[in-house]
Amino acid sequence: MPIRQSDCWILTGYPEGMPNDATFRRESRPVPPAGEGEVLLETLYLSVDPYMRGRMSPVKSYVAPLQPGDVIGGEVVAQVVESRDARFVAGDLVLAPLGWCTAGVLSGAALQKLSLPAGRASLALGALGMPGLTAYFGLLDVGRPRPGETVLVSGAAGAVGSIVGQIARLMGCRAVGVAGSEEKVRWLTEELGFDAALNYKAHEDLREALAPLCPSGVDVYFDNVGGTVSDAVLGLINLRARVAICGQIAQYNAKNPPRGTRPFATLLVRRARAEGFIVFDFKERFPEAQRRLADWVKEGRLKVRETVVEGFENAPKAFLGLFSGENTGKMVVRVR
Amino acid sequence: MPIRQSDCWILTGYPEGMPNDATFRRESRPVPPAGEGEVLLETLYLSVDPYMRGRMSPVKSYVAPLQPGDVIGGEVVAQVVESRDARFVAGDLVLAPLGWCTAGVLSGAALQKLSLPAGRASLALGALGMPGLTAYFGLLDVGRPRPGETVLVSGAAGAVGSIVGQIARLMGCRAVGVAGSEEKVRWLTEELGFDAALNYKAHEDLREALAPLCPSGVDVYFDNVGGTVSDAVLGLINLRARVAICGQIAQYNAKNPPRGTRPFATLLVRRARAEGFIVFDFKERFPEAQRRLADWVKEGRLKVRETVVEGFENAPKAFLGLFSGENTGKMVVRVR
């Protein structure tokens, strides 16, 4: 039976500072019939990611801003309901740029067929999707760790950070994580195999607290967070250290350009490199990385945990929870 | 006639903030006879450079700190008075790590013979020496400009900056300079061939003032200065821009770690790279670079100006003048 309506979450306007419930409006939108080459989809899981905050602002970033009235963009795991593209049949699971909607019609060219079992399909939004690829290329290609080096990752218990530390271990590095609760710290060290981790909220002088966890200093800093956590880590970087700037979640909701300790003098004295990157710069190498990530997951060498929020109605709440660290591992919303 | 005494400038203690006259003490020190393999030298020119400020601090930097009571270190152009090293004869001009002294004895192994005529010998402290090499490797190897790109250099009228902009032009780039006076701006644009330059002291909103000078944005930022000048420039960098961090002279005399706008979010959004470097990292390629720099000078494609301060007694004054921008081009002290 064709689906005629989709529930969607709409951006009401650009939030100043932290978004809140009023930033989002739920709306029913008509779903057109699938035309030639198009596919009718029903969402199973939708993704909430910190980068989405960047699109809720009129300022040009590395992704185009949303306009007020737009559906919140993003990838979903969806099931094909009806297909007019020969490559898909009803029941197929796909990765689709459908945004925060329960259903919709997209061109088959925009879809990626998933070979994951339905129970594991949400991995395509996490360890085997954009966050996993971000960890992979950011660490290996920007951070370029060598065996024996120390890799420190901030936001270590997040979708990206938890994979960064595990890949660092697979590369023969010492992996140190900074996270936001004692429970996350235990997860990182006891389950994921991080060599050390620390709850930044429990320490006044973070640099002093981190120093004994990094007895040989820090060679690669994978930065998801920015702010005072980064100040502390930069105090520990070694000669020729590399800083892979992946995210600055501590600043995404700032109303004014955030001020803090200037880092260039440290980069100079340590002859270190800090480099921003985006996963799409590595697009042509996605298949290679996805194969390796999938193998590691299959072999149990890459452990994955998700924070699953139940119900489409809770998508904004899940998203807002990213900024208070309510997720351990990837945060996804189960829609159906 | 052998020289038995040398006049030297001594570090009295570590200055807090800006050094001043009391930071330095003049002292006569005995000169030993030259032993086997050693050379007795008399200083013609001594060098004052911003990096020396870093050594007047107990904090480990990329060069070891001086101790109170030490002679201020640095390179000089000297003449050989007496040689017990077969490679040198009296009258030879050499580059020597003699520090702020009028004479001294050094191992011949520490000396580099100069083939420059006496009247041009000070070039070995500037365009053909450490500052020229710093410009060369910092721009070409760290900044990696491509023809048609825009290179912006801060401290543009200094020993390093004035060469950076000229090499950028030789590489087919647009060269834009930020300097500290209208006279320097005229020198950069009218004599050195910079495409544009600007006196940062004349503008409230530096970013706004710089924008029209960089109509295609900034691809390479060669940073000698740091602070608010860098804040302004970072607002103009392009996707995949490179920041070569060479110096942070605006901060060398700060009493506390300087605070300002955090730059990592900009590096992230622009997928840009900021990298500190030191010229000695490129040591094995010095001959190649010195040959090219010398050729450019000879052909008149690299123009050189020096600010020559007369008299050994004025070495501290010359050094302090670096921080108020009293030099145009390389600052040297003529000792004899």
pLDDT single digits (tens) B214-229: 999 999 999 999 999 9
| Position B176 confidence tier, pLDDT thresholds 50, 70, 90 | very high
User: Looking at the DSSP assignment, which residues form a beta bridge with residue A41?
Assistant: A80, A104
Q: Which two tokens stand for residue B56?
A: 């007047």
Residues 6+ apart with CB under 8 A from B252: B50, B53, B54, B323
Mutating which of B251, B269, B281 best tests the A interface, going by the most A Cβ atoms within 10 A? B269
Model ipTM?
0.94
| Position B239 confidence tier, pLDDT thresholds 50, 70, 90 | very high
Q: Which residues of A touch B276 (CB under 8 A)?
A: 264, 267-273
CATH top-level class for A5-126+305-334? alpha beta
For chain A, which residues make up each domain, given as ranges?
A: 5-126+305-334, 130-280
| Position B29 confidence tier, pLDDT thresholds 50, 70, 90 | very high
The Cα–Cα gap between B84 and B107 comes to 9
Give the mean pLDDT of B305-322: 98
Region B130-280: CATH code? 3.40.50.720
The Cα–Cα gap between A333 and A314 comes to 7
The answer to whether the B5-126+305-334 and B130-280 domains have the same CATH topology is no
Amino acid symbol at B61? S
Give the largest CA-CA distance in chain A: 66
Q: Which residues of A touch B238 (CB under 8 A)?
A: none
Q: Which two tokens stand for residue A243?
A: 């800083």
- Which pLDDT score, from 0 to 100, does residue B1 have? 59
- The DSSP symbol for B188 reads I
- Any idea of the CA torsion for B102, B105, B106, B107, to the nearest 10 degrees? 160
CA distance B224 to chain A (A): 10
Give the mean pLDDT of B222-237: 97
Per-residue pLDDT tens digits of chain A, which is 336 residues long: 578 999 999 999 999 999 999 999 999 999 999 999 999 999 999 999 999 999 999 987 777 899 999 999 999 999 999 999 999 999 999 999 999 999 999 999 999 999 988 889 999 999 999 999 999 999 999 999 999 999 999 999 999 999 999 999 999 999 999 999 999 999 999 999 999 999 999 999 999 999 999 999 999 999 999 999 999 999 999 999 999 999 999 998 888 889 999 999 999 999 999 999 999 999 999 999 999 999 999 999 999 999 999 999 999 999 999 999 999 999 999 999
The Cα–Cα gap between A188 and A156 comes to 8
Q: Structure pTM?
A: 0.95
Given CB atoms, is A63 within the 8 Å cutoff of chain B?
no
- Which pLDDT score, from 0 to 100, does residue B2 have? 73
- Which pLDDT score, from 0 to 100, does residue A276 have? 98
Q: Which residues of B touch A260 (CB under 8 A)?
A: 259-260, 262
Percent of chain B with pLDDT over 70: 99
* Residues present in chain B in total: 336
- Distances from the Cα of A88 to the Cα of A43, A119, A159, A336, angstroms: 16, 20, 29, 20
Helix (H, G, I), strand (E, B) or coil at B221: strand
Q: Which of A258, A271, A275 sits opposite B281 (nearest CB)?
A: A271
| Position B106 confidence tier, pLDDT thresholds 50, 70, 90 | very high
The answer to whether A158 and A194 have CB atoms below 8 angstroms apart is no
Helix (H, G, I), strand (E, B) or coil at B207: helix
Helix (H, G, I), strand (E, B) or coil at A211: helix
Q: Which of B23-32, B50-59, B233-242 has the lowest mean pLDDT?
A: B50-59
Q: Which of B54, B246, B264 sits opposite A223 (nearest CB)?
A: B264
Given CB atoms, is A57 within the 8 Å cutoff of chain B?
no
- Which pLDDT score, from 0 to 100, does residue B256 have? 86
Q: Which of A248, A261, A269 sits opposite B268 (nearest CB)?
A: A248
Q: Which residues of A touch B269 (CB under 8 A)?
A: 54, 61-62, 276
Distance of CA A29 to the CA centre of its chain: 28
Q: Which residues of B touch A275 (CB under 8 A)?
A: 267, 271-274
The answer to whether B230 and B161 have CB atoms below 8 angstroms apart is no
Look-up of token digits 């980068």: A51
Mutating which of B245, B256, B266, B277 best tests the A interface, going by the most A Cβ atoms within 10 A? B245
- Which pLDDT score, from 0 to 100, does residue A60 have? 74
Distance of CA A109 to the CA centre of its chain: 24
The Cα–Cα gap between B18 and B206 comes to 25
* Residues B260, A259: C-beta atoms closer than 8 Å: yes
For chain A, report the end-to-end CA distance as a whole number of angstroms.
17
How many other C-beta atoms are found inside a 10 Å radius of the C-beta of residue A65? 16
- Which pLDDT score, from 0 to 100, does residue A267 have? 97
The Cα–Cα gap between A103 and B168 comes to 54
Give the mean pLDDT of B107-131: 95
Mutating which of A238, A268, A275 best tests the B interface, going by the most B Cβ atoms within 10 A? A268
- Which pLDDT score, from 0 to 100, does residue B305 have? 96
The Cα–Cα gap between A180 and A160 comes to 15
Look-up of token digits 């809770």: A314
